Structure formats: C-alpha cells, structure tokens
Chain A
C-alpha cells in the first residue's frame, strides 16, 4: 500500500479506470455521477455514491440490501449493476451501472412542456410492456420494488440498447419476507402519488400488487402527461395519514366499498379516520374522462384493472402482459423511442444535464488534510464539448434543486487523495466483476479464483498485523 506514495496518480485503482464527466443526480441516498470507461470511451457508466453512514453504524443497511438484490437479478428490463467499488480510504461505496440517458420523468416532461404533444401510442405501449416485463421478472423472483415512479424508470439512449426500458433504484426493494421498515423511515422520502390505496390506508401487510398500482399511475401519466393522483403530501414522521392523496384517488375512481374490497374494513385508517375519509362522497367514477379514453378501449380496460382497489383482484404483471392491449396494433417493440413504421415522427429527447463542476472529491467526506492534494483528472472532458450536445440546465427530479452546468474550458478535476487506501485490498476486495446469474464459472476456474483470492493481500489499514499476507 505504500507503493503509491509519490505517484501522481494518487487514486485507487478502481477510480483510474474511469473518466469522470460530472454529477447527474442527487438524492437522500447520495450522489450519481456520469463517467466513461477509459478503455472503451463509447461506454457510459452511472456511478452511484452512497452517503457515508453515521459514525458507528457500519455499512448502511440500505446499501447492503440494494446491492444484494442487484446481485441476484439479471434482466434486460432491469438496470444492470456492473461493479461495486469500495473506497477503502473512507469506506465509501460506489455502484457502477450501465448508463441510461433518459427516464420517464424527463420524457413526460419534455412532451408536456417542450413539444406540447402526446407521446405516440407505439412508445407508450412499448414502455409499458417493457416495464411490465421487468416487473414480472422481479415479482417471479420474489422481489417487490415498492418505489416505482417515472424517474425510476430509465430508457436507454443511443446505442445497441436504444429505447430499452430499465427499472432502476432498488433502495426500497425487498426480497422474500425480509422485514420492512415503514416507508417513511430512514429519512427516505417516497412520493405518495404512486402509492397504492392499501398502503395509504395503513395496511401492515401488503403484496407485489403495490407495484402494479404504481404502474397503473405511470400508464395514465404516459397517456395524459400529468400525474394521475397528485395529492398534497403531509410531511411528518412516522408515516402520517395521507388524506389528500386518498381523496384525489376517490375523486377519480369513486369510493371503495366493502362489497368490492372485503378487507377494507380491517385497514387501520379506514376505521380510525372514517369520518375524514367518508367526508366527501364520490359516486361516479370518472377515470375514462381523466385519461380521455373510451371505456371500450382496451387501453382503458387494462388501466382500470391495474387501478383495482382490492389488491387481490388487481391485475398481476404476468396477467397484464397477456392483455389484449398488447396484441393490437401498434405492437410493442424493443426500441420504445423509435417506431418501426417509417413516417412516424421521432422525438429527440434531451440528454441528461451534467454538472461538470462536481467531482467525487467534492462530495467525499474524508479529512481535509487528505483532500488537499490536487491531482488533475486525466482525460477529463472539457465543459464546452459537453455544452455542444447538452441542453440548458433543467431540474433533475431526484435532485433537491436546480443544477447548473458551469462552462469551463479545461476543467481541472480535482480528485481525492485516495492513495492511502490499500490498493491491494481495493483490487482484491473492492472490485467485484459482476457475473450473470446462472453463468457460473466451471469448477476448476472457480478453484483458481479462490486460490487467487487467498493469495491476495488483505491489507486493512489500522489493523494489527496488517502486513500479513494472509490477514
């Protein structure tokens, strides 16, 4: 680990394989950066950095669960985790994903605010089909997402996978019967607009049907370019009763009744907030008029079955994929952005804005003394180059405020002095090349790998006997 002292490239090995472009997102979990792989400049990677956990908490449970889940899954319509990097210096975690240029939040917004035009039918249907296809895969692997919303549904930009939909952000996802914290815990803010009525009514036990409700809301939003149930969120902990959100739903779908939803009477808020909930009476469901579809339209039929109150009667992802809607012209396709029929207008969606003025270091919570070294990031892209192809700044949904791209001719990317971290350990333990599930290496190869691992240095800074090769 001393070998890197005095080296200009005072950065851990894993970081050296990337050229950092800039920051593309920020959320409660941490930050997301755009980077390119040096050895293959055409390949873009999104690097998600987890916030440091509180001192004394160790590795964050959210990070552990998200990575654990992503390691279990492999599907064309689910975002692909390429690598997990451990920065041994400050013990921070970085996840490298295949980069997706677009997301449904931005696509919808572009149609609503820029082109003033509905998304074409082919694109809506292809997005919905792929979203359901990915969800069906997750559900059949006993995983529920729990936080589906337009900004978590990515769409690939130019390249071999153009127009392919990817479900992302598994920070709240759960496998099997893993225990759940209430959704409002951990400071995690989940938008309530896509939340299923059983959750809003305080259900303690819920099923994968909550994801299907969210898909229904997203489907309607793709059709109308407006969130279907835009309730005012009550901000309080823990998990306050969201009356306005329920009210918005009831207004469109009518009041749920015990006749149609037998377990309704057992839901906590249905009893305790009886008067509030039943304050307004909405008898005439008006979903078709909100989404401007005839009740005879198969799209309407599919939508209304996803927005079924009773979670047990709600359509499953597998059932939805079999729906008549997907068998009618235009048929859904793999490239959701470019219809196969010639003559259809192709919408050019803007690329994601990149804050090229931020680097990993600016957000790394390491000691100031160690931050002081100013290494230039080799191959850092100039700001002007980016500006040529990128649009004016726009808010990123997952970001708290506006992000501005700052023009800089030759930007000096100031990278952190990660060099103190054990390079050997970073290489041995930090970089885990992801393997497709079910494509296990042949036994002899596994054995080799295992032997290699055993031979690797196990430097753990601050440890007794850290020089030992065998830990």
Chain B
C-alpha cells in the first residue's frame, strides 16, 4: 500500500475495509504541508474541547478510585486483545472512562459500577473505532455478569454524561507525524514506533487522561522513544523545529516526558512473572494495588510483543 495515500488526510481519505488498517506503515513518509495543517487542526480541536488541563500531579484523586481504575484498565487491555481491537480503541475507551469520572461521582466502594463503566466505555469505543463490533455478550467482566440491557443502560449514561461528544483525539493519530518531524530519517523505524506506543499504553494505565493533552502525550512518547536522556534544554531544542506544535506548552511536554520516563522506570524495576493469567483476578475488588500492578504489567507485556503492538496502531 502506498503510504503517501494514507497520509493524505486533508482529502478525507476513507478506507472501506480492514486490509490497510492491519498493515504497518513502517516507512514514515515525508509529510507535506497538508499534514501540518491537519495536525494543527487536531491540536486546535483539543484546545477547544476544554477537556484537558495540564495538571501533572494526580495525587488528589481518591485512592480507591485509582485502584478500581487500574482494575478496569487491565480488563480493558486484556479484552482488547481477546476481541482483537486496536490499541487506539482501548486508549479511547480510557478517555471516555476518565471523562465520565471527571463529570460524575461514583460512590466509594462501588467497584461494580466502575467495572460496568469500563465495559460500557470499551463497547462505545469499539463502536467508534472498529470495523466489526461484537455483541455485548462478548464483554465478560470477571466476577460480575452484566446483562446486555444493563450494559446498554450504562452506555446511554456514558453517552449522556459525555454529551455525545465521542469524537476524541488519541495520541496515536499524531505518532507518525511527530516521528517524521523529531527523529532522524534513518533512525525512525518500527522498533521506535512500537516503543512509543508502549510508553503511551503504560502511561494510560497510571494517569488520569484528562490531565494530559493527547498531542502532548504523543510528543513526549516520541521524544522518550528516541532518547531517554533529554534535559529540559535539549528537549526544547528538539521540539523547537516542529512548527505544528508551537502552540503546546513546553513545560507540559517536559513534565509529561518525565512522567512517561518515571512510569517506565517503575515498570522495569518490577520482577517478571510468567505465570500470571491476564484473564483472572482482574475484578477482585480487594486486590492489593501494588502487587497487582507488577503482575499485570508483565502479563500485558508478554501478551503484546513488540511486533504485535506495531501492527495494530
């Protein structure tokens, strides 16, 4: 497939089938001015949406919610894999999840509600992003058996709470553009792209996505994939040449870069566990968050080798 053709976004390119979506475009094409214009319009849109605030500490959210969120996130990622969804679908569902929680309060201890929310968000994201959408019977939450009518009610509640604004930008849409701008041509390969995708996914497990603009996450992930030793100055120098992101706060990018790096460091310091079954224990409400985090990270990693990650951007 011609990668130039898939880049001509300003012509509103549409794809009728899945064949091109499953292919990886390892070659990063030279973006034209149209791409710049498109990327700028996306960044503008993020700003207009008022969804995102550049808050780089997330200490104020309740601890039980964080714990329940991690459970939901792990369920979303494992179900994504089982149902064969794109990574961007999982990320999108987390955006819905966090936006819902920023607008409505769920009572302390109602893990079932959080889980149901996770199911509804993934199902909605699939309806937005995926070619074929499985019936609700395929979304099996561990420990709870939600009837499809109950899931549908939750879908409606999410839709109403988000005021039907389901079109949300994810960092994935920016990746190729930022790679082509930030990386040296010969250095930019599939491995780096996969690395950036992994950074984004690991990050999305840890933070409230409402605190970080998708474009900022994308730039930070690309920077980190290329070089994990950037200082404030070298980072600013690198992004200084990228005109399409001039409207973004450099401070936010730098903080996000460090957060991503922190997430990676934490992850690399945890011992590996091969025996962890991704599909079990995800919904046990009283799980120990620390232990769980370690286990699921590694489980997730193993189920998602690099190759696969890059294939389904």
Known contacts A61-B133, A68-B166, A464-B112: A204-B155 contact under CB 8 Å? no
List residues of chain B with CB within 8 A of the CB of A453.
Answer: 103-104, 161
List residues of chain A with CB within 8 A of the CB of B9: 142, 176-177
Contact status A460-B153, CB under 8 Å: yes
A179 at the interface (CB under 8 A from B): yes
Q: How far is the CA of A54 from the CA of B152 in the complex (A)?
A: 11
A55 CB within 8 Å of chain B: yes
Expressed in whole angstroms, the Cα–Cα distance for A256 and B51 within the complex equals: 48
Q: Is the CB of B13 within 8 A of A470?
A: no
A57 contacts across to B, CB distance below 8 A: 133, 135-136, 148
**Across the A-B interface, the 5 shortest Cβ-Cβ residue pairs:** A429-B160, A61-B127, A208-B12, A207-B11, A58-B152
Interface size on A, residues (CB 8 A): 60
Take A61-B133, A178-B129 as given contacts and tell me if A207 and B157 are in contact as well, using a CB distance cutoff of 8 Å. Answer: no
Q: B17 touching A59 by the CB < 8 A rule?
A: no
Q: How distant is B312 from chain A, measured CB to nearest CB, in Å? A: 12
A76 contacts the other chain (CB 8 A): no
Q: Mark A171-202, 1 if CB is under 8 A from B, else 0.
A: 00011111111100000000000000000000
A174 to chain B, nearest CB (A): 6
- Taking CB atoms and an 8 Å cut-off, the chain B residues in 85-143 that contact chain A are 103-107, 110, 112-113, 123-124, 127-131, 133, 135-137
Contact of B106 among A446, A450, A463, A471 (CB under 8 A): A471
Q: Which residues of A contact B30 (CB under 8 A)?
A: none
CB pair A206–B14 under 8 Å, yes or no, is yes
CB distance from A442 to the nearest CB of B (A): 11
Which segment of B18-26, B66-74, B193-201 sits at the interface?
B18-26
Tell yes or no: A430 within 8 A of B by CB: yes
Supposing A58-B148, A176-B9, A177-B9 touch, asked if A71 and B164 sit within 8 A by C-beta, the answer is: yes
- Residue contact A180 to B15, C-beta cutoff 8 Å: yes
Asked if B151 lies at the interface with its beta carbon under 8 angstroms from chain A, I say yes
Bound together, the chains give a CA A90 to CA B76 distance in angstroms of 28
Instruction: List the B side residues contacting A204 at CB < 8 Å.
Output: 15-17, 19-20
Bound complex: CA of A446 vs CA of B53, how far in Å?
A: 14
A-B contact pairs, 6 of them (CB 8 A): A57-B148, A178-B129, A205-B20, A206-B16, A460-B153, A460-B157
Asked whether any CB of chain B lies closer than 8 Å to the CB of A91, the reply is: yes
A280 touches B (CB below 8 Å): no
CB distance from A100 to the nearest CB of B (A): 22
Known: A68-B166, A142-B10, A464-B112. 14 other contacts (CB 8 A): A56-B135, A59-B156, A64-B159, A71-B165, A142-B12, A178-B128, A181-B131, A204-B17, A204-B20, A206-B13, A454-B104, A460-B154, A460-B157, A462-B150
A42 interface residue (CB < 8 Å to B)? no
Q: Which of chain B's residues has its CB closest to A143's CB?
A: B12
Residues of B near A425 (CB, < 8 A) are: 157
CB-CB under 8 A for A429 and B156, given A58-B123, A58-B151, A68-B165: yes
- Name the contact of A432 in the complex, choosing from B21, B104, B160 (C-beta under 8 A): B160
A-side residues, CB < 8 A to B, are: 54-59, 61, 64-65, 67-69, 71-72, 84, 86, 88, 91, 139, 142-144, 174-182, 203-209, 425, 428-430, 432, 437-438, 440, 446, 450, 453-454, 458, 460-465, 468, 470-471
Residues of chain A within 8 A of B19, CB atoms compared? 204
Q: Does B163 contact A (CB under 8 A)?
A: yes
- Asked whether B136 lies within 8 Å of A56 as measured between CB atoms, the reply is yes
Question: A71 and B20: CB pair below 8 A?
Answer: no
* Interface SS majority for chain B: helix
Q: How far is the CB of A62 from chain B (nearest CB, A)?
A: 9
CB closest chain-B residue, reference A203: B16
Q: Which residues of A contact B128 (CB under 8 A)?
A: 61, 64-65, 68, 178
Are the C-beta atoms of B136 and A58 separated by less than 8 Å? yes
The reply to whether A470 and B20 contact each other, CB–CB distance below 8 Å, is no
* CB within 8 Å for A56 and B137 given contacts A181-B131, A205-B5, A470-B107: yes
A98 to B20, CA, bound (A): 39
Task: From the candidates B11, B127, B161, name the one contacting A64 in the complex (CB within 8 A).
Answer: B127
> Chain A nearest CB: distance from B15 CB in Å?
6
Closest approach, in angstroms, between the C-beta of A413 and any C-beta of chain B? 26
Query: In the assembled complex, how far is the CB of residue B35 from the closest CB belonging to chain A, in whole angstroms?
Result: 13
Q: Are B11 and A430 in contact (CB under 8 A)?
A: no
Rounded to whole Å, the gap between the CB of A339 and the closest CB of chain B is 34
B243 on the A face (CB < 8 A): no
The interface residues of chain B lying within 8 Å CB-to-CB of A71 are: 163-165
Q: Contacting B155 at CB < 8 Å: which of A58, A179, A182, A428?
A: A58
How far is B13's CA from A181's CA once the two chains are assembled, in angstroms?
14
A102 to B106, CA, bound (A): 47
Residues of chain A contacted by B149 (CB below 8 angstroms): 91, 462
Q: Give the CA-CA distance A55 to B148 in the complex, in Å.
A: 8
Q: For the complex, what is the distance from the CA of A55 to the CA of B153, rounded to whole Å?
A: 13
Asked if B18 and A59 sit within 8 Å, CB to CB, the answer is no
In the complex, A203→B113 CA distance in Å? 44
A453 to chain B, nearest CB (A): 6
A residues less than 8 Å from B104 (CB atoms): 453-454, 458, 471
Specify which chain A residues have a CB less than 8 angstroms from the CB of B61 in the assembled complex.
none
A174 with B150, Cβ < 8 A, contacts A65-B128, A454-B105, A471-B110 known: no
CB distance from B179 to the nearest CB of A (A): 17
Chain A hits for B165, CB < 8 A: 68, 71-72
Shortest beta-carbon distance, A426 to chain B, in Å? 10
From B8, B18, B159, contact of A179 by CB (8 A): B18
- B164 near A432 (CB under 8 angstroms)? yes
Alpha-carbon distance A72/B153, docked complex (angstroms):
24
B49 to chain A, nearest CB (A): 9
Does A64 contact B5, Cβ atoms closer than 8 Å?
Answer: no
Residue among A175, A182, A205, A428 with the highest chain B CB neighbour number at 10 A: A205
Give min CB distance, B269 to chain A, whole Å.
Answer: 37
Q: A430 to nearest B CB, angstroms?
A: 6
CB distance from A89 to the nearest CB of B (A): 11
Q: A462: nearest residue on chain B (CB-CB)?
A: B150
Q: How far is the CA of A464 from the CA of B160 in the complex (A)?
A: 20
Question: Which listed residue (A68, A438, A454, A463) contacts B150, Cβ 8 A?
Answer: A463
Min CB distance B34 to A, Å, is 12
A91 and B133 in contact, given A64-B127, A86-B160 (Cβ under 8 angstroms): no
Q: Are A208 and B11 in contact (CB under 8 A)?
A: yes
Most buried by A among B12, B127, B155: B12
B157 pairs with A59, CB closer than 8 A: no
B19's closest neighbor in chain A, by CB? A204
- The CA-CA distance from A96 to B153 in the complex, in Å, is 21
**Contacting pair B157 A175 (CB below 8 A):** no
Query: Which residue of B156, B161, B166 is within 8 Å of A91 (Cβ)?
Result: B156
**A453 CA / B163 CA spacing, docked (Å):** 12
Q: When the two chains form their complex, are residues A59 and B50 in contact, meaning their CB atoms are under 8 A apart?
A: no
- Nearest residue (CB) in A for B113 is A471
Which residue in chain B gives the minimum CB-CB distance to A468? B107
Shortest beta-carbon distance, B191 to chain A, in Å?
24
CB distance from A264 to the nearest CB of B (A): 15
Question: In the bound complex, what is the Cα–Cα distance between A206 and B103 (angstroms)?
Answer: 38
